[in-house]
Chains A and B, each alone.
Chain A
């Protein structure tokens, strides 16, 4: 109980405010449209952001160690193309999916090697591979769309957990989110991520294997994109090179809005999960109100800016308060 309480104590604050906001967004949506708070609508709209949600989990860890992966949506597109082209060539679906995971893992490995071996900034590297991986997807599939997947797989994409309205991808997300929470907040690996993100020099001097940890997270990010690609491909029953184009913005918006510091060293999975839901629900509410796609994009953009701005302001405010509180101690050297 004590463990639970101290864990909870650390999470309250920004995360708690987000959860309140999720509730408020649901309520407002319900007031705006009677169709909004129905089980089937909620089910549909949560399924709608499952790919973003999955990729946001790995992105949370990456941003906590002070790196970023802008190429996730392109990896998703590439993996989707791999599934499509292999299936169209007659490869059994399980093997095609396996190939997508291999592709995603290799794409993440390539990002990670460029960052950790050559010391390049991940922002630049993954902007490059954002274009590269999407380009490869077009090389594989061109403008074609591969559809006609077996019903078993497409059902996995848009089906619900039997007897409930919980979409299967969301159930998968829930399991992985809990795993990520445990890894980040209760394992040696998770402890090391915060140390690396806050000061990688000191982390190295404490014997932490900074490069190896970062490399593993880039690979994880690629694997999560591959998983998201399977979900996306089956949910829409369509493998296309431009699948999930632009999703990286939503993923990063969710992570930053979730309170993860863009400078690394700070953040939690609970924050990311709450932010994923908040963004998804706002988008869903606007969709049900027939707000145009352009406006949706504008809202996502504003949330991204807000998500960097607000926590920043909060941090400033907190440091200011802290300074006032400990000024006496700290100025006496």
Chain B
């Protein structure tokens, strides 16, 4: 219990108060009549599905879009931002998921960009600049060398540079747009320590995230939006996961992890002593028909590399891969595919989809040769295949000829799934199947995976989302630093056990318990 939950919000003045704001783009009403108050010292979660209007909301606070109607008060003064600069000047800072820094300049120069301390003749006083930034980073409790270039920093570190920048601008309202989406668990943990430090200084933090467990662990208040409108605001203690999800989706979602009883079939994927220098070594496991096996571990443990080597996109130096009875030669995606393997890769935009092509072309890309009549493409077969799979997966799209880039993350992921399900696979590897996907689409992806497993598909699921791993997997394999370090049955698995194997440290388990 923090003080904030006990105190009366009405008695203290909010740092920022937006009331009854609307925004439309042409005929599209992106936001209508939304209000929010941010109080000093609070972490406030803004929740909603993709398309709920969160980004528009943030852009209004950031001065990117102008609100229509309503009022905005910042630190007691009425405000109306015409540009991002005005929002910054009023003490509002936005930390985006992927920071936009100058990669070749130093950390310190990025933090104090345009405000570098000067020495004689207009030169930048590097020593004073580094000292100032070292001080800022210390306040945040972060060890980063201010003189090193930003290039090569992890996304997590780059976010901290942005936060230090916000701090140097005396920002007291920080808005973080899905800050943890690309972070490892330890990085997330460090980010939340920084957030706590900011709150103790009296700043307000507005969090936009899809990860509900983070909300319940770190936030004091919650605002839920749906379809561009405000749904509810209240202290976190008034909410639980089911309620939040119900409010976000606007209907009963059913089970987020609909994993039922499984019936095991024969071995569909068998991996023996798979190795690749500097990536992973001696990886052996089996996945049976009807089974969902999770490959858990920290980011960088080598899980995706194993998946890509099995699929033949990346090389492997040793070991054997069998799909059914077929032994798959290294570097042969073709052979793996014709033996019945599919791979839904981790990076949807780069690896999973050709963003410029239409939904239909993407859905058909893996089976072009089967959609022919003689030598030529059969337009009818193309349309039917795309239509068939996208409707089975309940894809929400206007027309299948629209570019796949016009879809939301969850619907894009459904197109990738459609592409692989049309190959009629016996083994499907899914790498981070619900990353950046909103909770409604997430439940649908899980339901699809569970149904596919029930119909005899062997699923290998790589995921950094622990609740997903625990909720969906029949067995959990854990990798650490390129090694398979353990296996947990569904009965044995819990967050601590997985994290202990993934990190090799008991200490983490304590933090995880606290977080």
**Segment of A28-36, A85-93, A188-196 in the binding face:** A188-196
Best-buried of A188, A208, A326 by chain B (most CB within 10 Å): A188
In the bound assembly, the distance between CA atoms of A205 and B29 in angstroms comes to 38
Q: Do the beta carbons of A188 and B369 come within 8 Å of each other? A: yes
Q: Do the beta carbons of B377 and A195 come within 8 Å of each other? A: no
Interface size on B, residues (CB 8 A): 46
Closest to A188 in B: B368
Task: State whether the Cβ of A292 lies closer than 8 Å to any Cβ in chain B.
Answer: no
Task: State whether the Cβ of A327 lies closer than 8 Å to any Cβ in chain B.
Answer: yes
In the bound assembly, the distance between CA atoms of A198 and B352 in angstroms comes to 13
Q: Do the beta carbons of B356 and A188 come within 8 Å of each other? A: no
* Contact A328-B30, Cβ < 8 Å, known A199-B355, A206-B366, A206-B419: yes
Contact pick for B365, options A3, A186, A195, A266, CB 8 Å: A195
Cβ distance A290 to chain B, nearest Cβ, rounded Å:
46
Closest to B55 in A: A333
- 0/1 per residue, A320-333, Cβ < 8 Å to B? 00001111111111
Task: State whether the Cβ of B59 lies closer than 8 Å to any Cβ in chain A.
Answer: yes
8 Å CB interface, B14-48 against A:
24-30
* Contact A325-B26, Cβ < 8 Å, known A192-B368, A206-B365, A332-B52: yes
In the bound assembly, the distance between CA atoms of A190 and B351 in angstroms comes to 20
Contact pick for A198, options B354, B364, B366, CB 8 Å: B354
Tell me which residues across on chain B come within 8 A of A324, comparing CB atoms.
26
In the bound assembly, the distance between CA atoms of A224 and B59 in angstroms comes to 54
In the bound assembly, the distance between CA atoms of A326 and B364 in angstroms comes to 25
Tell me which residues across on chain B come within 8 A of A182, comparing CB atoms.
376
Q: Do the beta carbons of A188 and B59 come within 8 Å of each other? A: no
Tell me which residues across on chain B come within 8 A of A139, comparing CB atoms.
none
Q: Do the beta carbons of B377 and A187 come within 8 Å of each other? A: yes
- 0/1 per residue, B274-310, Cβ < 8 Å to A? 0000000000000000000000000000000000000
- 0/1 per residue, A204-223, Cβ < 8 Å to B? 11111100000000000000
Tell me which residues across on chain B come within 8 A of A206, comparing CB atoms.
365-366, 419
In the bound assembly, the distance between CA atoms of A202 and B420 in angstroms comes to 13
Tell me which residues across on chain B come within 8 A of A326, comparing CB atoms.
406
Q: Do the beta carbons of A186 and B356 come within 8 Å of each other? A: no
* Contact A331-B55, Cβ < 8 Å, known A194-B361, A198-B356, A209-B334: yes
Task: State whether the Cβ of B53 lies closer than 8 Å to any Cβ in chain A.
Answer: yes
Q: Do the beta carbons of A332 and B53 come within 8 Å of each other? A: yes
Cβ distance B326 to chain A, nearest Cβ, rounded Å:
15
Tell me which residues across on chain A come within 8 A of B419, comparing CB atoms.
206
Tell me which residues across on chain A come within 8 A of B163, comparing CB atoms.
none
* Contact A202-B55, Cβ < 8 Å, known A332-B228, A333-B50: no
In the bound assembly, the distance between CA atoms of A190 and B361 in angstroms comes to 12
Tell me which residues across on chain B come within 8 A of A192, comparing CB atoms.
365, 368
Q: Do the beta carbons of A201 and B351 come within 8 Å of each other? A: yes
Q: Do the beta carbons of A198 and B333 come within 8 Å of each other? A: no
Tell me which residues across on chain B come within 8 A of A145, comparing CB atoms.
none
* Contact A332-B368, Cβ < 8 Å, known A186-B376, A202-B351: no
Tell me which residues across on chain A come within 8 A of B53, comparing CB atoms.
332
Best-buried of A198, A206, A209 by chain B (most CB within 10 Å): A206
Tell me which residues across on chain A come within 8 A of B30, comparing CB atoms.
328, 331-332
* Contact A208-B26, Cβ < 8 Å, known A191-B377, A198-B355: no
Cβ distance A187 to chain B, nearest Cβ, rounded Å:
6
Contact pick for A331, options B27, B29, B56, CB 8 Å: B56
Closest to A6 in B: B379
In the bound assembly, the distance between CA atoms of A205 and B336 in angstroms comes to 12
Interface residues of B (CB under 8 A from A): 24-30, 50-56, 59, 65, 228, 313, 333-334, 337, 343, 345, 350-357, 361, 364-366, 368-369, 371-372, 375-377, 379, 406, 408, 419
The 10 closest A-B pairs by CB, nearest first: A328-B28, A188-B368, A328-B25, A333-B55, A206-B365, A198-B356, A327-B25, A199-B354, A205-B351, A207-B337
Interface residues of A (CB under 8 A from B): 3, 6, 182, 186-188, 190-192, 194-195, 198-199, 201-209, 265-266, 324-333
A/B interface sample: 17 pairs, CB < 8 A: A6-B379, A188-B372, A192-B365, A192-B368, A195-B365, A202-B351, A202-B365, A204-B333, A205-B313, A207-B337, A265-B356, A327-B28, A328-B30, A331-B56, A331-B59, A332-B228, A333-B50
